Amino acid sequence: MSFSDIFKSSFLENVASVSILDMVLAMVLAFGLGLFIYLVYKKTYQGVMYSSSFGLTLVALTMITTLVILAVTSNVVLSLGMVGALSIVRFRTAIKEPLDIAFLFWAIAAGIVLAAGMIPLAVFGSIVIGLILLFFANRRESSDPYITVLRCSSSESEKAASAFLQEKVSKCVVKSKTVRKDQIELTMEIRLKDDNTDFINALAGIEGVESAVLVSYNGDYMG
C-alpha cells in the first residue's frame, strides 16, 4: 500500500459521478414539471379549503425525487442503502381529498422518469395528465347541487314547504329528517332550474316554516 492509498477516499471519487450539466438540467426540468403540477392542482381543486402548502409540497416532492433518483442511478450500492433508509420513513399526514393522492403519485412519478433520463416521456406524460385532469375536473353538471335545511313547526307546514320546493326546483330529495317536540327539521338536496334563489325568501315566508337555509356543496353527503 502506497502513501497515496492511505489518503484515498471513495467519497471523493463519487463527486464527479453525476456531471454538473446533468444536475442543473434535471433540477430545472424538475422544478418546471413540479410548477406545472402545482398549477394544475390549483386549477382543479374542489375541496372546502385550498392548501397552498400542499401545492408547494408537490413542487418540492418532484425535485426531491429527481435528486434521489439521480444519486441512486449513479451508484448501485447507494441504491440498496437508499431502499433501506426510506423503508423506515412513516408519513402520518391524513389525505383529505382522494384526488390529492393522484397528485402526489404524479409528482413522484415525474421525478423518477425525469431523473432516469426519459425527458420526453416525463414532459409529454405530464402534459397529457394535466390536460385530462383540467378537462374532467372543470366539467360542470347542468345544475349545481344545493342543500336546503328547513325547520317547520308542524307536519302541515312541512308538506306545504315540500310542495313549494317541488314546484320551484328541478330535483328535490330528502336526505335526513329530524323530529323534535314542536319542530321538524328537513335536510334536502335540490337542483336549481336557474341561478335565481329568491324562492328561499318565499319559502321562509310560508306559515309554520321557522327558517330556511340554502347551502352549496360539492356533492359529498355524510348522513
pLDDT in tens, 185-195: 888 888 887 77
DSSP state of 99: H
**Across 79-83, 97-101, 156-160, 178-182, least confident range:** 79-83
Ranked by mean pLDDT, the top range of 66-80, 106-120, 131-145, 168-182 is 106-120
CB 207 within 8 A of CB 200: no
Select from 148, 136, 135, 167 the least CA-distant residue to 217.
Answer: 148
**What is residue 174's three-state secondary structure?**
strand
Which of 165 and 7 is assigned the larger pLDDT? Answer: 165
CB 61 within 8 A of CB 68: no
For residues 147, 149, 155, 160, the Cα torsion angle rounded to the nearest 10 degrees is -60
Query: For the whole model, what pTM was predicted?
Result: 0.62
166-190 burial by CB neighbour count: b if 16+ within 10 A, else e? eebbeebeeeeeeeeeeebbbbbbb
Has residue 101 got a pLDDT over 70? yes
Has residue 83 got a pLDDT over 80? no
**Residues present in the chain in total:** 223
pLDDT mean across residues, the chain: 78
| Per-residue model confidence (pLDDT) at position 166 | 85
pLDDT in tens, 140-180: 555 668 888 888 888 888 888 888 888 888 888 888 888 88
Ramachandran angles phi, psi of 113, nearest 5°: -65, -40
The mean per-residue pLDDT over the stretch 135-139 comes to: 76
Has residue 33 got a pLDDT over 90? yes
Domain with CATH 3.30.70.260 in the chain: 145-216
Distance CA(137)–CA(151), nearest Å, equals: 35
Cα dist from 36 to 42, 132, 186, whole Å: 10, 14, 44
**Across 47-51, 75-79, 152-156, least confident range:** 75-79
110: cell is 415525474
- CATH for 145-216 is 3.30.70.260
